[in-house]
Chain A
Amino acid sequence: MDLDIHVLHYLVVSTIMLVCGIFGFFTRKNMLATLISVELVLNATNINFAVFNRYLFPGQFEGHFFALFGIAIAAAETAVAIAIIINVYRNIKKIMTDDVTDMNG
């Protein structure tokens, strides 16, 4: 079986991931779930970087490096975000976004 995997296939996957991420970000009230959604969005872009580099500029590595870079950023961001969430939980014992409204104008 000849599975001819085209660039479009990758893009469909990454688009689904992006939309899932955005949707999750809008709808989920749990901060952890929100964080997971953000990771989905970031990873969708990482896939795009890798794919475009692989198919459009085969001899170069910028896209790959950028994908690695994005992964590192995402890791750091996750660490910070979880630290914030833990602190919020310690202070108000809640991790739902609706409950965290102290910055209300």
Chain B
Amino acid sequence: MEYTLLILLLPLLSFLVLGLAGMRMKHKLAGGIGTFSLAVVALLSYLTAYSYFSLDRTAEGVYPTLQPWNFEWLPFTESLHIDMGILLDPISVMMLVVISTVSLMVHIYSFGYMKGERGFQRYYAFLSLFSFSMLGLVLATNIFQMYVFWELVGVSSYLLIGFYYTKPEAIAASKKAFIVTRFADLGFLVGILIYGYYMGTFTFTPEETNLMGAGMVLPWALGLMFIGGAGKSAMFPLHIWLPDAMEGPTPVSALIHAATMVVAGVYLVARMFPLFIAYAPETLHIVAYVGAFTAFYAAAVACVQSDIKRVLAFSTISQIGFMMVALGVCTSADPHHGGLGYMSSMFHLFTHAMFKALLFLGAGCIIHAVHSNEMSAMGGLRKYMPITHITFLIACLAIAGIPPFSGFFSKDEILTACFQFSPVMGWVMTVIAGMTAFYMFRLYYGIFWGKENKQLHAAHTPRESPLSMTFPLMVLAAITVVGGFIPFGHFVSSDGQSYSIHLDTTVAVTSVIVAVIAIALATFMYAKEKQPVADALKRALPKLWRAAYKRFYMDEIWLFITKKIIFRCISTPVAWFDRHVVDQFLNFMAWSTNAAGEELQPVQSGKIQSYVMCFFGGVVVLTILLLILL
């Protein structure tokens, strides 16, 4: 499978071409180059997936782990070296398919969405850069290569969030995203270094003796790596950058901040899963608790936001929380006894990528039509935008967990895994799943039904988007409809062996009932022209509503911590020390040199004879010294 190298090289080449020569190209040509290279990458990915999964399983019943390319880049010791290569195993192949599909859809969609924008070519160059880095991340053969591409992904995310660089909010958002994730990546780097030091290797499969000898170090290293994953995957309390990242173009939000980059943290934990489960189960459960809290928090915030992209952003955070929980509740590597979460997490990652990309792209169509992100500018759009309406509804049903859409199957597996871990966790996640259904249908009714902003729509009638934008919606909707029937456990499971998904009837029925109740509640509250219940609730609990709307003041808390505590208590004294001690010391050095020069200046009289006198005196002194000493 040597051709897999092309999957990495094509987007890189496209980035270089578009980045260096793009500004001289016509928009169509530049977009065409980017889209064509991604189309080839997508085809190659499908080919890779097909040929990989038709390989024979090994004697243990698992798919072989292949390394079609690997070259040693930076050797430190015999075993510790940084490599660059391509690793094929079930989850990396699965991620290849997800990334290339969503990325191709976003490339096509952007033709319509970004039409006529200034910097169209730059946009496509950055998209190619992102695709390259994300593919490199999932194909990494070792943790350090993963880290390199991890940072590249962060950079391309930064560039794309700040695409509208004349808008101050976009610049602030891009900086925030970069700084917050970079801060988290510090933990990742420290984790990698500890891992490399104690394991003697950067690969994912260290020597048994090193693993045994590491003791308590390995859980710490893995925990630190999870901090990096939590930053990228917007886990509480490092989630603050993701809602702001919505300042970027909407297709970018669909690609980076919904489907691919933000699940890198989940992928990281899944990648290290064999080590987590064998040597650091407690750390894994911490992941579960962080994920559960994040899922709940984000769901609560999503219930009151009025900006549709913000609602989707918080829903993304919440769903990633689900994936983290699913990984975290695993207690063994056997999918039949406590290892179900791994498979369900990857399954949910797959289905979520599709329907959340669909939701974002649908939101992009809506924003394109009404030129606003606010729900108040929408309402009643179903008449104007039928395709967007239907596809959006499919995605909402999927995320709410209504059969037979894909989200039902993956979420059901997650809930089953949670119930196996502990009933409390199971019920908590079921309630959050209900909240998901509620806020998604609040969003759906707010956009397509509810109170129509007739005044605005009369002045500017919303229209359905062109085919270049609706085509990706239809493709993703089709995947969302049939995605749940993929025998996912056959390809990916915690021990690598084939696992056939069977629905737990109790859990499935419960979760569907909860989802239906939540949807009914949302219908009752938001579907109509007048919304007395919603308004009454808002009036009855003004403080709670306000706090949720302000995201429970998490941004303010971070600002307080950084500005009031870090800046004032650490930065200010350090600045004082720098200015008054370090700088003054150097100033003193300069001053003393200068003063000494001033003092010695008269000696340089220019009179040769006085120089010679000095010279002669020196000779005499040396001679006397020599005579005495010898």
Contacts and interface: CB of A to CB of B under 8 A. Distances in A.
Contacts, number: 27
Nearest to A27: B609
Contacts of B55: none
Contacts of A25: 609, 612
Nearest to B605: A104
Contact of A104 (B604, B612, B613): B604
A105 B604 contact: yes
A48 B602 CA distance: 38
Contacts of B604: 104-105
A97 B616 contact: no
Interface in B598-630: 601, 603-609, 612-613, 616
A84 to B, nearest CB: 12
A97 B612 contact: no
B609 A101 contact: no
Contact of B605 (A26, A29, A101): A101
Nearest to B603: A105
Contact of A105 (B606, B609, B612, B616): B606
Interface residues of B, number: 11
A2 interface: no
A26 B601 contact: no
B39 to A, nearest CB: 75
Contact of B606 (A22, A26, A29, A102): A102
Given A22-B616, A26-B613, A97 B605 contact: no
B340 to A, nearest CB: 86
Contacts of A102: 606
A95 B325 CA distance: 98
A101 B612 contact: no
A22 B607 CA distance: 16
Interface in B192-208: none
B607 A26 contact: no
Interface string B62-103: 000000000000000000000000000000000000000000
A65 to B, nearest CB: 27
Contact of B612 (A26, A29, A98, A100): A26
B384 to A, nearest CB: 87
Interface in A1-49: 22, 25-26, 29, 34
A101 B611 CA distance: 13
Interface string B270-303: 0000000000000000000000000000000000
17 contacts: A25-B609, A26-B613, A26-B616, A29-B609, A34-B609, A97-B607, A98-B607, A100-B606, A101-B605, A101-B606, A102-B606, A103-B606, A104-B605, A104-B606, A105-B603, A105-B605, A105-B606
Interface of A: 22, 25-26, 29, 34, 97-98, 100-105
Given A97-B609, A100-B606, 8 more contacts: A26-B612, A97-B608, A101-B606, A104-B604, A104-B605, A105-B601, A105-B604, A105-B606
